[in-house]
Amino acid sequence: MAETQKLLVATGNPGKLREVSQMLTGMPFEVLSLQDLGISMEVEETGATFAENAILKAKAYCASAGALTLADDSGLVVDALDGRPGVRSARYGGEGLTDPQRVELLLKELVEVPWEKRMARFHCVIALAWPEGRLETVEGVVEGIIQYEPKGTNGFGYDPIFHLPERGCTTAQLETSDKNRISHRGQAVRKAARLLMELGVAAG
């Protein structure tokens, strides 16, 4: 049986921490949060891409914690908005807005856009950083359509307006296990977990 390895999931978003922790259940990781380690610093997300931001966070928090660190950057890319909100998804419209307010803003921007042109995707890049200096990245993408009004409560961020054509519902209407199986973050976490296992978890 593999030895349990400490793994810092470097996010201040409780919804994201909960999702990642659930997806790693049963694997040989002791999942730790920033709060668990008393880390209060915030890493400025200055990257132009999801990968750049994930790497910035993973490296900084790994250096602070001295432990294997998983950090992600993810967001919503809407074709009709030239890729916005993109890397600004969590801060779209300004730092003070709530998730429902960001959803409302996005819907207002798409009010004149017909259904067939409301294509979008959730994109997630996970970076893994080891104290010894190793760095790896994996990603996940799920395609969908921005629907006209929010539906569902089992999610956060833009989940209530992200319609999955093959399911006929939003990601916020899926059961947690179903959402984790198909989501962009679910895809990326599974790839990260497989990579860690292949590397013997504690690879340096």
- Which CA distances in Å does 28 have to 8, 17, 109? 13, 17, 44
The reported pLDDT for the residue numbered 12 is 81
The reported pLDDT for the residue numbered 19 is 82
Q: Which of 36, 73, 82, 178 is catalytic?
A: 73
Tell me whether residue 159 is one of the annotated catalytic residues: no
pLDDT by residue for the chain (204 residues), tens digit each?
Answer: 456 788 999 988 887 888 888 888 888 888 999 999 999 999 999 999 999 999 999 999 999 999 999 999 999 999 999 999 999 998 999 988 999 999 999 999 999 999 999 999 999 999 999 999 999 999 999 999 999 999 999 888 999 999 999 999 999 999 988 988 899 988 999 999 899 888 866 444
The reported pLDDT for the residue numbered 203 is 46
Quick one: CA dihedral 83, 136, 42, 31, positive or negative? positive
Instruction: Say which CATH class 5-198 falls into.
Output: alpha beta
Q: Is 165 left (phi over 0), alpha (psi -120 to 50) or beta?
A: alpha
Residues contacting 65, CB < 8 A, separation 6+? 8, 32, 37, 39
Neighbours of 107 (CB within 10 A): 16
Domain residue spans in the chain? 5-198
